[in-house]
Amino acid sequence: MSVTVVTYGTFDLFHVGHIRLLKRLRAMGDRLVVGLSTDSFNELKGKNVVIPFADRKEILLSCRYVDDVFEENTWEQKRDDLIREKADIFAIGDDWAGKFDELEDIVKVLYLPRTKDISTTELKTVMREINEEKVREAKNVATHLVDLLGKL
């Protein structure tokens, strides 16, 4: 009997935490299917994605642990997706612990610990800090040039 695992996510700025999660999920079954949040759904959730949906989908499909990817457009679609995909296991990060327990009547629901010390949010924070530092440096250079021009 084949075991299908379904998970959901944005998978923006694909990193080692994503790989480790997908590897763990794939090890739980014979088939791993990912519900990938669309750009418009991420917007509704208040998330700004760096990489557009089509590219994130291509990245996921190129990963050897992922068998298929479908669009996640709403919070409410999970039950229908799990039935359509004939899912045996629905697994997601433990930051969602308890939020999907109502699906246990159709699948085994698992909440997995996140990869320590890596997240897309942290990567975006670091990128923002680097950008802010570059802006500060540019302002300092501009101020210095204005001062030099004023002395001429």
Please identify every residue annotated as catalytic.
45, 47
Euclidean distance between CA atoms 66 and 63, whole angstroms:
6
CA atoms within 13 A on the CB side of 80: 8
Place of tokens 């089509």: 54
Indicate if the alpha-carbon torsion angle 93, 77, 11, 58 is positive or negative.
positive
The 3-state DSSP composition of the chain as helix, strand, coil percent (nearest 5) reads 50, 20, 30
- How far out from the chain centre does Cα 35 lie? 10
Euclidean distance between CA atoms 119 and 14, whole angstroms:
9
